[in-house]
A and B are shown apart, each in its own frame.
Chain A
């Protein structure tokens, strides 16, 4: 029981690891490219959570500044990723990742 509370930064890091795992499982197991993109965002957010936890542990704001940068890069990534999805949809009329195999042969 005494591992469950009081809440320490360790709990936040464990939660971050679990969330990262859920995101990875989503990327690996789903065929829908939208769900893959969203799982990717979930992984980024899990990493952000551990950055903020470490900022809190060390009392240093650098972790929070890096999270701000990660949020901006995630916005750029989402925008380019969705543009690629639109371009692929024009080509295949579908968003199933199994159909995007032009480079295979």
Chain B
């Protein structure tokens, strides 16, 4: 019972914050709504026995990526008139939501809803803990993990090259 209530609270918050992200005129308001959406997602991850990932979601997304986004938004310091020119136009957003809902979401829902008997199954209490995720990652996915360090290095150098005025 408690799971049902929690799920619907988090789902409503997630959809509400998601809609706020795409409708606010001020990008800072969008970013704040995004942080709320990440918190809701972290709660859902915790309900799905992914404890470690729910912490990572808050730390990396809310604490890292969104701070970077907010830094850049404030750094560029856009004029209010420019923001007004780029504000969400109600019927365009509505049209996009309806179009995407008809073209992408409803086919997905029609595939998903009939299988509602999927067992939740039971998993060991260790499932999703930091130790078990780490053991899985370093046992079976070591090579992708190492490649990821190269990806991050490339991204850092690339971002520097792109954003620096003079090299």
Contact = CB atoms under 8 A, between A and B. Distances in A.
Contacts of B69: 34, 37-38, 78, 82
Name the residue in A28, A52, A90 with the highest tally of chain B Cβ atoms < 10 Å from its Cβ. Answer: A52
Contacts, number: 239
B152 A75 contact: yes
Which bracket fits the contact residues of A?
Answer: 35 or more
Interface residues of B, number: 88
Interface of B is mostly: helix
Given A25-B96, A87-B162, A64 B64 contact: no
Nearest to B73: A34
14 contacts: A7-B3, A15-B44, A17-B112, A19-B15, A20-B108, A25-B22, A34-B27, A34-B31, A68-B53, A69-B145, A74-B65, A78-B65, A86-B162, A95-B76
Interface of A: 3, 5-15, 17-26, 28-32, 34-35, 37-39, 41-42, 45, 48-49, 52-53, 55-57, 59, 61-62, 64-65, 67-69, 71-80, 82-87, 89-90, 94-96
